[in-house]
Amino acid sequence: MHNSLVPATHLSVAEDVTLHPDRAVTLLNPLSSELDTMRQSLLMQGLETLARNRNHQRPDLALFEFGKVYRQDGDGGHEEEERLALLVTGRTRPESWQGEGTDGLSFLKGAVDALLTRCGLLGAKRESLAGGGLFREGLSLSAKGGFSARVGQVHPAVARAFDVEEDVFFADLPMTGLLRGVSRTRITSADLPRFPWVRRDLSLVVPAGVTYAQMESVVRQTGGKLLKEVNLFDVYRDESAGTISYALSLTLQDADKTLNEKAIDKTVHRVREQLSQQLGVTLR
């Protein structure tokens, strides 16, 4: 967590809706003339952290910080707000022959979506950010209760002002809005299962035009309470016959007792029967 004191120049690095030099909260007797102003955004100190890490050969970073921002309230006092900052730069997964993973913006959006889902805010309204200010591009998010956030690429001119030449992606979220969403979200829990799960595999010949999504829907509808997971783990195309085969795994489990073969076979038979009746799918 950074110190809340920053140079006054941090407030004028760009013209942005979050930066108000005329409403700066300054110390009357600062210990340093370079640290005499209370911050209005978590981004600038985050960029300083990125630059410091890159100078020590740590180019791939995904960081977060909780912290307060401050500004004058216009009535002789000041207001403060708790924010959450997320920053991403460099590769989003370790170097591999499989590639570099998702781009930084997609990675950050995924993290934000996961957070909004947990806070009951996934339905937040999304609009494109106009270029300029702290962001080059991105999204603005808004929801009931005054929730407002921004996600996107930091404007290169802003990043360069802190000696960061690489692309940086930043999310700025209000803690009050996130916590309010959590308070409205119902959380359920259950005991860990005491009895083992069982896997059964099906190798199926699929008619032309039938999708895996259709098959999964039928399996989930007919698998009953014993079906916990369904997964497509192999696809085989027979070009000469013009057919396609899918290999599905079904994970079955009973929370109250160990499954016997009769219950397993009954569930698997019902799934096979409905796949055949509804979609024309047959065993390979």
- Amino acid 123: pLDDT: 78
Place of tokens 């005991």: 191
- Amino acid 98: pLDDT: 65
- Amino acid 1: pLDDT: 54
pLDDT digits (tens, 9 = 90+) for 203-251: 999 888 888 888 888 999 999 999 999 988 888 888 777 778 999 999 9
- Amino acid 250: pLDDT: 93
Which residues are CB-neighbours of 172 under 8 A, at least 6 positions away? 18, 41, 42, 43, 83, 84, 85, 149, 150, 151
> How is residue 211 written in tokens?
């999708």
Task: Determine the average pLDDT of the residues in 136-150.
Answer: 87
- 213 to 146, 199, 202, 209, 219: CA distances (angstroms): 37, 20, 16, 11, 10
pLDDT digits (tens, 9 = 90+) for 163-200: 999 999 999 999 999 988 887 777 777 788 889 999 99
Structural domains of the chain, ranges and CATH numbers in brackets: 5-184 (3.30.930.10), 198-283 (3.30.70.380)
Query: Average pLDDT over the chain, rounded to whole?
Result: 89
Number of alpha carbons in the 13 Å side-chain half-sphere of residue 109: 13
Rounded CA separation 131/129 (Å): 6
pLDDT band at 77 (very low <50, low <70, confident <90, very high): confident
Q: CB neighbours (10 Å) of residue 33?
A: 8
Q: Is residue 95 within 8 Å of residue 56, measured between CB atoms?
A: no
Q: Would you say residue 260 has pLDDT above 90?
A: yes
- Amino acid 19: pLDDT: 92
